[in-house]
Structure 1
């Protein structure tokens, strides 16, 4: 098939949506299809549209279906789609979902916010990850807690840095954060936090190889988001065996599992600080988290993601 893959443009090529779209393009090409990536639909001939983000891609989705009403459209539901725009600006989001022949969620709990009438269209495809070249080898100089993700409101990006301020004086924890600040305000806040907090370092936007090196030497990774669709960085940490300390939101629970013991309530700085201290001081707790990650890791194998896309495409002809 000739496939057009629509992904919204962002301030960096390393946004979660763009990374996912690029990986899916590789998968679809591997399955024998021709794929063109674009931020908008220009009317080019296509047998199928795959669109990322119901709200941001509402225009291209509507245009494609107006031109080709009988041709299939697959829509990936991003976190802001189902945990923000579905309530704050529902009309374009719902319209995109209704026009789509298939919906793709990225976590096992995505179905809970999809309207009942549309749930039969929903498939969950876990974003895959590959092993780190040399595995997880935590730093010996400090207890490194990484935060990997762009600085924007929905990520609650400085929560780990604030938690580090609550640690006792003898703690060896160091919070290292990578990711571009989406606004000048966030850049200023991160810079000010570094000046005031000796346990915190922000490295701004860095190449993918540097992200993987940080993950490899991390004792734990924090994802403190207010909402998530199913962050690929969680998949990467799970496959790497890096304990994840995660805000208890559906997008994280839908990847890590309901009985995972590394959750903290959204915005709860004190609980996060206590979890970070347990990472530092309780080897048994770390072992428990690692065992839970090993049990989840098979969900994120690349072969499984490829097979899921093969089944999804085959189902369009059923």
Structure 2
């Protein structure tokens, strides 16, 4: 019997190694246990039984073409970040993608609030996941308190807030690591300047995913400074490595960490971020509170849970 064929459209390729690619690659792995799966950046009219497309605007051409060619086949749109929190408000292609999709997926509960009632009824939440890593034993005193941020240097990630905070942190034991390639010359110049001026800060550029996770696991804190996120993989990878998070106070991060989380700072507020880093080092009770709240969220980000939710969604669509 021929397996049902699913095409996953990811606007990012493996070379980009960003959140969209990580999601697409992981979902392809999950689905291949039951289905034939093809990953591509744009639909080339290859026959299939179901399409999963990531990002309403960047995959809009593939979504429109597939809907026109196969109006009765299921089409799943995953709203991954900038499309959910920016594009669907004003971009006609992104708005059309919402209408054409059979199902909409958001990656955390707060994402549902961004959808108008006319399309919210076809939306579902699927939390992403990461393979858990055994947390380091942090009970013994260590010489350094390592803080890491992970993500390509681009405006939506607001990498400058992390760099400015690095210039404000005073405790000599704190080291700040920034991982991710610069997508503009200006941000590369600023990372290099910050590194030259502040010895506690180091920009490591692009790193392989496995090496990045090991660097994360060895850190005491993970920082996310983004101005918009759909459901950041780096938060999940930190939590599933036993590393607490300090996060910009945006809906996408609140949807991941909960409204009662103590580790938020205002978007772009480098002094507030630097103060939180210093507090995490100096106040063991505060640090333990962050650890405990992150540990409580960890079950949401189990690979088995994500795979079960995805397979349930796809099974129901292809068997209708």
TM-score (norm 2): 0.95
Tell me the distance in 2 between the aligned counterparts of 1:98 and 1:301.
31
1:46-83: CA deviations, max 9, x gaps?
A: 00000011100000000001110000000100110011
User: Following superposition of structure 1 onto structure 2, how do residues 164-313 of structure 1 map, counting pairs within 5 Å?
Assistant: 164-168=166-170, 170-313=171-314
Deviations 1:160-215 (A, max 9, x none): 221122223x4311110111111222111111111112221001000112111111
1:67 maps to: 69
Is residue 148 from structure 1 mapped to residue 123 from structure 2 by the alignment? no
Tell me, yes or no, if the aligned pair for 1:136 and 1:215 is still in contact at 8 Å. Answer: no
The residue that corresponds to 2:5 in the other structure is: 2
Bigger shift: residues 205-214 or 5-14? 5-14
The gaps in structure 2 that reach 5 residues or longer are none
Aligned to 1:33: 35
Q: 1:295 aligns to what SS in structure 2?
A: helix
Q: Deviations over 1:252-298 (max 9, x none)?
A: 11010110000001011111111000111111111101110111110
Length-normalised TM-score, structure 1: 0.95
What SS does structure 1 have at the residue aligned with 2:189?
helix
- Paired residue total: 314
Is contact 2:14–2:21 with CA below 8 Å preserved after alignment? no
C-alpha separation in 2, matches of 1:129 and 1:293: 14
| Alpha carbons 1:164, 1:173 under 8 Å: kept | no
Q: Map 1:25-174; keep pairs closer than 5 Å.
A: 25-30=28-33, 32-87=34-89, 89-132=90-133, 134-137=134-137, 140-168=142-170, 170-174=171-175
3-state DSSP of counterpart to 2:121: helix
Q: Match of 2:267, SS?
A: coil
Asked if the contact 1:13–1:19 (Cα under 8 Å) also holds between the matched residues in 2, the reply is no
Q: Is the 8 A contact 1:137 1:217 kept in 2?
A: no
